[in-house]
Chain A
Amino acid sequence: MSAIQDISLLNLCLSFLALLIPIAGFWYFRVGLTRATLIAVARMTVQLSAVALYLEYIFEQNNPYLNSAWVVIMILVGVFTTLKRSNLNPKMLALPLIISAVTSIVIIDAFFLGVIIRLPYVFESQYFIPISGMILGNAMNHNIVGLNAYFEGLTKNQNLYYFLLINGHSKKQAVNPFIVQALKKALNPMIANTSVMGLISLPGMMTGQILGGNSPATAIRYQIMIMLAIFTGCSINLMLSIILGNKTAFDRMDRISSDVIVKNPSRKQKRLK
């Protein structure tokens, strides 16, 4: 295996030229996505450059407290992004989501880093930070879909929930159809993606390892492990978020709190104002 070919700063700048093609397409079809694309690319570049600086420092220190603090920051950013993107009330659901994210990370890191990879030092920044980050990033995306489906479903279809509740079901039984729907909506795409892995998609971690000079056999073993970690981590995180969220989103008579969904005026309504 040859060592990885570095990308010069000038060549990296040149790579932005590739964007001219989609932007020309947006202009031709009058899609109106040019501004959003340029802002997103600028944000991505600044964020990743900043993260590279932090990570260089964190990797150099390799301190368990610093590494854990970085993971805690990732958890908090992930939780508040999830709440914002799914229009959920942070006062009601931030704590359950933080507990769920911490629990899933502790379980996954302890099992996969400690038991499977058998790292002598679980907080080793080279493993602890990227693997926790991959799990949290994926969990955030699936939580946004799952929690939105769950709480929107419950508030929009209160008729079904209250029908079951008044007809003698416990809260746990009455929310079950909504949990089933939310888990299916959030996890089905991941199951589909897992089933075609290697056939129509070459995953990022494996590509990174091969580019980094590792053999495809090692890269594949890591990829299989990370896929299992992501699937397990996302499922634990979403299920726990729903279970713990149920403790705060209902009152003592099992009525759904009217404040669980943040009622923001839509962009269209804002424009009309």
Chain B
Amino acid sequence: MFEIEVNNLTKYFEQRVIFEKLSFLVKKGQKVTITGASGKGKTTLLRMLAGVIAPDEGCISFNNQVFNSQTAHIIRQQIAYLPQGIDLMVSNGVELAQLLQIEPKSAFSYLEKLLLSPNIMQQPFAEISGGEKQRMLISLILSLQRPILFLDEPTSALDKNSSEKLMDLIWSNPNISMVSTSHNPEWEERCEQVIQL
């Protein structure tokens, strides 16, 4: 299980303050969401936690290990990440599974829990809906079996029923620490901590 500590994180963008001296703690197994209006820096903060955007000040640590160039790869191997706006240059789920170096079969149980048939993995992305694509991607990253989840707007393309199934699936595992961004009130309600930007 992982604990994530954020200390005095500050980010400027062209002299505009995105957030300043932001500190919070994600306890082991805790589910946290970042909320705020569009453009407030939710995705920026999530990508910063994953080390792909540099903060102007402050630091992040995972289980007391500071996230830096020496530890980045080891820490990232504990993370499963869902990006926002899923356009990943590949044509279907099987190709994406190959890129992630996982067996497509390992995602089948998650696909079923999210109300999808395993056959959807072979279907071209162009022929499936945004919601189906999002659930397939979530199934793939969950099958990585990582203790940390970073989810950027995980329910943005899902209907109420699929959103509930996803929440049930994620909250069924108390060992996973999660940081997400969301505009979904039900999602926020289930999170143990809400970080308002």
Contacts and interface: CB of A to CB of B under 8 A. Distances in A.
A201 interface: no
Interface stretch (B27-35, B84-92, B183-191): B84-92
B54 A166 contact: no
A253 B79 contact: no
A8 interface: no
Interface in B44-84: 47, 50-54, 68-69, 72-73, 76-81, 83
B146 interface: yes
Nearest to B84: A159
Interface in B176-195: none
Contacts of A252: 69
A154 to B, nearest CB: 11
A interface, size bucket = 10 to 19
A157 interface: yes
A204 interface: no
Q: Interface majority SS on B: helix, strand, loop or mixed?
A: loop
Nearest to A256: B52
Contact of B150 (A165, A166, A177, A251): A166
- Among A157, A165, A173, find the residue whose CB has the most chain B CB atoms closer than 10 A: A165
B141 interface: yes
A159 B52 CA distance: 11
Contact of B88 (A163, A169, A251): A163
Given A162-B83, A166-B150, A253-B51, 19 more contacts: A157-B88, A157-B89, A159-B83, A160-B88, A160-B90, A164-B99, A165-B52, A166-B50, A166-B51, A166-B76, A167-B79, A167-B80, A168-B76, A168-B77, A173-B101, A177-B89, A253-B68, A253-B72, A255-B53
A167 B76 contact: yes
Interface string A104-123: 00000000000000000000
A152 interface: no
B115 interface: no
B144 A167 contact: yes
Interface residues of B, number: 29
A251 to B, nearest CB: 8
A124 interface: no
A166 B52 CA distance: 8
A253 B88 contact: no
- Among B53, B80, B87, B88, find the residue whose CB has the most chain A CB atoms closer than 10 A: B88
Contacts of A173: 101
B143 to A, nearest CB: 11
A81 interface: no
B169 interface: no
A165 B83 contact: no
A251 B85 CA distance: 25
B55 to A, nearest CB: 11
B100 interface: yes
B85 A168 contact: no
Interface in B71-130: 72-73, 76-81, 83, 85, 87-90, 99-101
Contact of A166 (B68, B69, B81, B85): B81
A164 to B, nearest CB: 6
A177 B77 CA distance: 19
Contact of B83 (A163, A177, A251): A163
Nearest to B70: A252
B193 to A, nearest CB: 21
23 contacts: A157-B88, A159-B88, A159-B89, A160-B90, A162-B47, A162-B50, A163-B81, A164-B100, A165-B52, A166-B50, A166-B51, A167-B79, A167-B81, A168-B73, A251-B54, A252-B69, A253-B51, A253-B52, A253-B54, A253-B68, A253-B72, A254-B73, A255-B54
